[in-house]
Amino acid sequence: MPDDHVRVGRVGRPHGLDGSFFIEHPSETRDRFEVGASLWVAGEAAKVVGARQARGRPIVKLDRAVPRGAWLTVPRAALPAPGEDSYYTYQLVGLEVVEEGGRPLGRVQEVAPGVANDVLELDSGLALPMHEACVREIDLDAGTIVVAPGFTEST
Query: pTM for the whole thing?
Result: 0.69
Helix%, strand%, coil% for the chain, nearest 5: 5, 45, 50
The rounded average pLDDT for each run of 10 residues, N- to C-terminus, in the chain (155 residues) is: 80 94 89 94 94 92 95 89 83 94 93 86 94 92 93 64
* Contact indicator for 91, 25 with CB cutoff of 8 Å: no
What per-residue confidence (pLDDT) applies to 2? Answer: 53
Longest dimension (CA), the chain: 57
State the Cα–Cα distance between residues 111 and 90, nearest whole angstrom. Answer: 8
Start-to-end CA span in the chain (Å): 38
DSSP 13-61: EE-SSSS-EEEES--S-GGGGSTT-EEEETTEEEEEEEEEEETTEEEEE
What per-residue confidence (pLDDT) applies to 155? Answer: 39
Show Cβ contacts of residue 132 under 8 Å, excluding neighbours closer than 6 positions: none
Side-chain half-sphere exposure of 79, counting CA atoms within 13 A: 20
What per-residue confidence (pLDDT) applies to 85? Answer: 78
